[in-house]
Amino acid sequence: MSVASATPREILIATIADLLTGVRLVAVGASSPIPAAGAMLLRARNEARGLTQVRIVVLGSREHNFFTNGAVELFDCAAQGRVDAFFLGGGQIDGQANINLVGTGDYPQSSTRWPGSFGSAFLYYVVPRVILFREEHSPRVFVEKVDFISAPGTSEGLVRNGGPYALLTGLALFDFDKARKRFRLRSAHHGVSSTDVRANTGFDYDEPADVPTTAEPDADTLALLRGRVTGELAETYPQFAGSLAAERAA
Q: How far is 66 from 80, CA to CA, in rounded Å?
A: 17
pLDDT at 3: 42
pLDDT tens-digit readout, 191-248: 999 999 999 999 999 999 999 999 999 999 999 999 999 999 999 999 999 999 899 8
3-state SS of the chain is CCHHHCCHHHHHHHHHHHHCCCCCEEEECCCCHHHHHHHHHHHHHHHHHCCCCCEEEECCCCCCCCCCCHHHHHHHHHHCCCCCEEEECCCEEECCCCEECCEECCCCCCCEECCCCCCHHHHHHHCCEEEEEECCCCCCCEECCCCCCCECCCCCCCCCCCCEEEEEECCEEEEEECCCCEEEEEEECCCCCHHHHHHCCCCCCECCCCCCECCCCCHHHHHHHHHHHHHHHHHHCHHHHHHHHHHHHC
pLDDT at 4: 47
Domains in the chain: ranges and CATH = 3-249 (3.40.1080.10)
Q: Which long-range contacts (CB under 8 A, 24 or more apart) does 140-144 make?
A: 140/202, 141/90, 141/91, 141/92, 141/93, 142/92, 142/93, 142/94, 142/169, 142/200, 142/201, 142/202, 142/203, 143/92, 143/93, 143/94, 143/202, 143/203, 144/94, 144/95, 144/202, 144/203, 144/204
Q: How far is 203 from 96, CA to CA, in rounded Å?
A: 9
Q: What is the pLDDT along the chain (250 residues), one digit of tens a residue?
A: 344 489 999 999 999 999 999 999 999 988 899 999 999 999 999 999 999 899 999 988 888 888 887 788 999 999 999 999 999 999 999 999 999 999 999 998 899 999 889 889 999 999 999 999 999 999 999 999 999 999 999 998 777 889 999 999 999 999 999 999 999 999 999 999 999 999 999 999 999 999 999 999 999 999 999 999 999 999 999 999 999 989 988 7
Q: Assess contact for 42 and 52: CB atoms under 8 A.
A: no
User: How many residues comprise the chain?
Assistant: 250
Q: Assess contact for 235 and 61: CB atoms under 8 A.
A: yes
